[in-house]
Every structure is written in structure tokens, then in C-alpha cells.
Amino acid sequence: MNIAKLFEMQKVLRDRIGYNGEDRFNKLILALIAEAGECANEQRTWKFWSKNQEPRTKALKYPAMMEEDKEYYNPLLEEYVDKLHFILEIGLELDYIEIDLFSIKEKNVTNQFIEVSGRAYNLYFQKRVSGEVPKGMYEVLVATFIGLGEMLGFTMEQIEQAYMEKNKINHKRQESGY
């Protein structure tokens, strides 16, 4: 994954959106946590009360299409990549775009989801208390996010490609006043 390229692409989208309110960092943290929940909902194995615990990795793009024209997408990957947008945004906000990429994994995917959200909360509290977030804290958030992707079975190439596709959609949404 070319993280420098992804930061550049995210900065273009960020500049286009143009929101610079003083609550921007807090909103980015909340967005990341909300997206983590959406991704977990597609992953499903933690839903011990449900008989359907299979991750949702194939869904129709356009359900009303004729059978021969049907296109599919991976909802789990799409939700995972939505989180990447906010992870990159947080890096831009903190001015940490030159980072070391590594992976941290918990013993299971449920714990990994909790760890990613916990690391996001830690950034929020650190900034609230001291006004600054050490670069290492951000890198650990990214590392737990990368570990989650690995645990979900995604390659760095799949993640990068899905990010680029979603980035295009996000630009189109800006054109239409989303």
C-alpha cells in the first residue's frame, strides 16, 4: 500500500470539502468509531445471538438489474475502506503523513475491532488533556487498523484499490451536494 499516495488523494478530497471547524478532530474521531461499527456489522462473527454469523462479502450493487447484468461488491471491504478515509483524515489533521506502517493484531477479530475503536478514543482523550497527540499513538492506531484488515483477509492491494474507488465516489458525492 502506497500510504503517501493515499494521503495525497485524501488531502484533495479534504480540501474540496473545506470544513475547518474547531470541532473537526472530534468529528473525525466519532466518524471513525461510527464506521468501525458499520464494518463490524458487516463482519458479523461477534453476533453470538444470530444464526447468521457469516461476514457479508458479496452483495448486489444494483438489486433491480437483470440477472445477466448483475454486479457485486464486497460490503465488508467497503466499510473497512470507509474507516481508512477517516484514519487518513486524522493523520492529515495531526500532520502525521510520514509514518511507519506495521501491523498489530489481537487474539481475535472481536478484540481487534475493540482495539481500533479504543485507539481512536485514546487519541481523542490525549488531545483533550494535553492538546497534542504523539505520532506514535497515531501510528499504533494505523497499525491496529492494518491488523484488522489482515484479520479480515484483505491484502494491501485490495485495500488500496477499494480506497481509490471509494475516493472517486466521495468526489462525485461532493459534486451532487451529498
CATH of the domain at 117: 1.10.4010.10
Q: Does a structural domain hold residue 40?
A: yes
Q: Is the pLDDT of residue 134 over 90?
A: yes
Does residue 61 fall inside a structural domain?
no
C-alpha cell at 110: 472481536
Render pLDDT for 150-177 as a digit per residue (tens, 0 to 9). Answer: 999 999 999 999 999 999 999 988 888 7
16 burial level (CB within 10 Å; 0-12, 13-18, 19+) = exposed
Regarding predicted confidence, which is higher, 122 or 72? 122
Contact 55, 139 (CB under 8 A): no
Domain that holds residue 170: 3-49+75-175
Residues 6 or more apart whose CB falls under 8 angstroms from that of 49 comprise none
Query: What is the tally of structural domains in the chain?
Result: 1
Q: Is residue 66 part of a domain?
A: no
* 79 assigned to some structural domain: yes
Average pLDDT over residues 80-97: 97
* Inter-helix orientation angle 135-151/109-130, to 10°: 160
Backbone angles phi, psi at 60, to 5 degrees: -70, 135
More confident residue, 82 or 60: 82
Reference 77, options 149, 146, 170; nearest CA is: 149
How many C-beta atoms lie closer than 10 Å to residue 29's C-beta? 23
3-state helix, strand, coil in the chain (%, to 5): 65, 0, 30
The answer as to whether 59 is a domain residue is: no
* Average pLDDT of the residues in 104-130: 97
58 inside domain: no
Tell me if 60 is assigned to some domain.
no
pLDDT at position 173 is 86
103 DSSP assignment = -
Q: For residue range 30-76, what is the model confidence (pLDDT) as tens digits? A: 999 999 999 999 999 999 999 999 999 998 887 666 666 678 889 99
**Looking at residue 49, what is its pLDDT?**
95
pTM: 0.92
